[in-house]
């Protein structure tokens, strides 16, 4: 048994109740052996045993009062996973499905993603089982304030810098920032994804979707190709999906379909990102609880709405597929349909949307598979740029931020590609991303002693 295999077995034995964490750890550790063979000193220093354990996990009670005066209690978490290369950095997820295991999977991925950005950010993730759906603005505010009443003592601009994820957008970040400032009596860049009037960065909203498309485009370019004339399908219609749709069409591709939890929409004229933005804002306003993506067809009469499982998008013939919803939403059957219908590239906009068997099938059947920890790193990358702007007390223009995002995402593709080649697995972008991210963190950990 190799060193990596031994640690995977330990992870399975110690975390049996955390399937998403086991999945993420298996995917990452399962590709590291070539790097571990080249660096026997890592095993002597028990590097994998250390990197797999979060430096700290904070779990806390979040009591709040709903609009009817009833006391509600949720569970809050922050997983401070690894600070070898910078302050813990990663989003907060507010969703009823949130568990510690889910946040450990997201936090573990975040360590390597953040290392790939080239910016000095460690890895972390947090959130709550609070469900923002159907809550009033005041309820959201009271919840966010209570969440920060505990979390404020653990975070700070040089310690741990949270941001948004599912269920946490500009509104929630604003409420949490306000409460942090009130408790600490200081204005600092403690959260990213802030409003533009109080230290937020231009292009953060667009960053993950744009970054995904820049990354995939760089792959196409390095193969003498481009998005021009390509048919693309997108799963999801949230923040990441919307701006991926916009950038694909700016680069000459056509997005045929996208989805939400109620179904999927097909538009023969190409999905219009502005209509998606409109539906998204309506959903988040919370006024009309019945809003779904079905509303898209009201503004685009040539489009068709298919009620049911949004995974219907994977059945369409396409050149490029972009899963941008959430984990484990592209299964083996979906991968088989994509391959049978001629799909050549899958770029993960979400975190771990592709199951392990589906990933393997795509890779074995000639699909260029771009893992989320590289392909969706544009969001945290611009969060890193937001931290730099806050530290300098400056605001860069949209073009400056977008320009840096594009340059770093295109550079990241080459780092991932070159690493896969160097370790003898050309075209295996999962291995390239994992090894490149791991080696940066490993170097820092080895230099800092046994901590
Ligand atoms: N927003 C960001 O900057 C970043 C987000 N991500 C990841 O991208 C993914 C999407 O995030 P956002 O777009 O920000 O979230 P969002 O909340 O704006 O959108 C999520 C989308 O996924 C769909 N969805 C939710 N649950 C689903 C399910 N069980 N099955 C099918 N579809 C479902 C929703 O209908 C919505 O269209 C998540 O995995 C997130 O962790 C990764 C990097 C950065
Ligand atoms: O911008 C951030 O720090 C959050 C990014 C994030 O949570 C992610 O990359 O999944």
Residue 41 lies inside a defined structural domain of this protein: no
Percentage of the chain exceeding pLDDT 90: 97
Instruction: Residue 283: give the domain boundaries.
Output: 205-375
Catalytic residue among 12, 14, 104, 125: 125
Residue 284 has a pLDDT of 81
Q: Which of 78, 79, 90 for mutating ligand 2's site (highest number of atoms within 8 Å of CB)?
A: 90
Residue 283 has a pLDDT of 87
The 3 state secondary structure assigned to the chain is CCHHHHHHHHHHHHCCCCHHHHHHHHHHHCCCHHHHHHCHHHHHCCHHHHHCCCCEEEEEEEEEECCCCCEEEEEEEEEEEECCCCCEEEEEEECCCCCHHHHHHHHHHHHHHHHHCCCCCCEEEEEECCCCCCCCHHHHHHHHHHHHHHHHHHCECCCEEEECECCECHHHHHHHHHHHHHHHCCCCCCCCCCCHHHCCCCCHHHHHHHHHHHHHHHHHHHCCCCCCCCEEEEECCCHHHHHHHHHHHHCCCEEEEEEECCEEEECCCCCCHHHHHHHHHHHHHCCCCCCCHHHHHHHCCCCEEEECCHHHHHHCCCCEEEECCCCCCECHHHHHHHHHCCCCEEECCCCCCECHHHHHHHHHCCCEEECHHHHCCHHHHHHHHHHHHHHHCCCCCHHHHHHHHHHHHHHHHHHHHHHHHHCCCCCCHHHHHHHHHHHHHHHHHHHCCCC
Q: Is the CB of 166 under 6 A from ligand 1?
A: yes
Quick one: average pLDDT of 96-110? 98
Structural domain tally of the chain? 2
Say which CATH number the domain at 170 has.
3.40.50.10860
Q: Is the CB of 204 under 6 A from ligand 1?
A: no
Residue 421 has a pLDDT of 98
Residue 18 lies inside a defined structural domain of this protein: no
Which pTM does this prediction carry? 0.98
Q: How far is the CA of 209 from the centre of ligand 2 (A)?
A: 12
125 is catalytic: yes
List pLDDT tens digits, range 32-89.
999 999 999 999 999 999 999 999 999 999 999 999 999 999 999 999 999 999 999 9
**Residue 239: pLDDT over 80:** yes
**Residue 287: pLDDT over 80:** no
Residue 415 lies inside a defined structural domain of this protein: no
List pLDDT tens digits, range 254-279.
999 999 999 999 999 999 999 999 99
Residue 286 has a pLDDT of 67
Same domain (yes/no): 210, 183 = no
List pLDDT tens digits, range 323-370.
999 999 999 999 999 999 999 999 999 999 999 999 999 999 999 999
Same domain (yes/no): 178, 319 = no
Residue 129 lies inside a defined structural domain of this protein: yes
**Residue 285: pLDDT over 80:** no
Give the number of the ligand closest to the Cα of residue 238: 1
Say which CATH number the domain at 324 has.
3.40.50.720
């Amino acid at each position: 048994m190799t060193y990596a295999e031994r640690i995977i077995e330990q992870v399975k034995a110690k975390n049996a109740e955390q399937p998403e964490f086991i999945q993420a750890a298996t995917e990452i550790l399962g590709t590291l052996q070539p790097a571990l063979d080249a660096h026997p000193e890592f095993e002597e220093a028990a590097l994998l045993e250390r990197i797999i354990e979060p430096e700290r996990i904070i779990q806390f009670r979040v009591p709040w009062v709903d609009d009817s005066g009833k006391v509600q209690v949720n569970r809050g978490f922050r997983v401070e996973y690894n600070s070898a290369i910078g302050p813990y950095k990663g989003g907060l997820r507010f969703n009823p499905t949130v568990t510690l295991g889910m946040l450990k999977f997201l936090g573990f991925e975040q360590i390597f993603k953040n290392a790939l950005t080239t910016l000095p950010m460690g890895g972390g993730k947090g959130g709550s089982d609070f469900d923002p759906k159907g809550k009033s603005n005041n309820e959201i505010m009271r919840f966010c304030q209570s969440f920060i009443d505990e979390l404020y003592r653990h975070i700070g601009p040089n310690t741990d810098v949270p941001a948004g994820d599912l269920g946490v957008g500009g509104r929630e970040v604003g409420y949490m920032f306000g409460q942090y400032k009130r408790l600490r009596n200081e204005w600092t860049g403690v959260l990213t994804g802030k409003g533009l009037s109080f230290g937020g960065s231009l292009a953060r909203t667009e960053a993950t979707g744009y970054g995904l498309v820049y990354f995939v485009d760089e792959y196409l370019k390095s193969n003498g190709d481009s998005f021009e004339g390509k048919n693309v399908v997108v799963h999801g219609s949230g923040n990441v999906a919307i701006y991926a749709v916009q950038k694909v069409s700016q680069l000459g591709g056509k997005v045929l379909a996208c989805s939400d939890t109620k179904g999927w929409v097909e538009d023969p004229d190409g999905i219009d990102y502005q209509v998606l933005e409109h539906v998204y804002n309506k959903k988040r306003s919370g006024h009309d609880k019945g809003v779904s993506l079905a509303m898209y067809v009201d503004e685009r009469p040539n489009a068709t709405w298919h009620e049911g499982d949004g995974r219907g998008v994977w059945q369409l013939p396409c050149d490029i597929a972009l899963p941008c919803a959430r984990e484990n939403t592209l299964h083996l059957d979906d991968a088989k349909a994509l391959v049978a219908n001629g799909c050549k590239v899958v770029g993960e906009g979400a975190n771990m949307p592709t199951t392990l068997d589906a990933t393997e099938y795509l890779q074995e059947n000639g699909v260029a598979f771009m893992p989320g920890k590289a392909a969706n790193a544009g969001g945290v990358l611009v969060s890193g740029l937001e931290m730099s702007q806050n530290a300098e007390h400056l605001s860069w223009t949209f073009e400056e931020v977008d320009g840096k995002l594009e340059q770093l995402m295109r550079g990241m593709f080459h780092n991932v590609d070159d690493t896969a080649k160097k370790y003898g697995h050309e075209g295996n972008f999962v291995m390239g991303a994992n090894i490149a991210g791991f080696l940066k963190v490993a170097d820092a950990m080895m230099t800092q002693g046994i901590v």
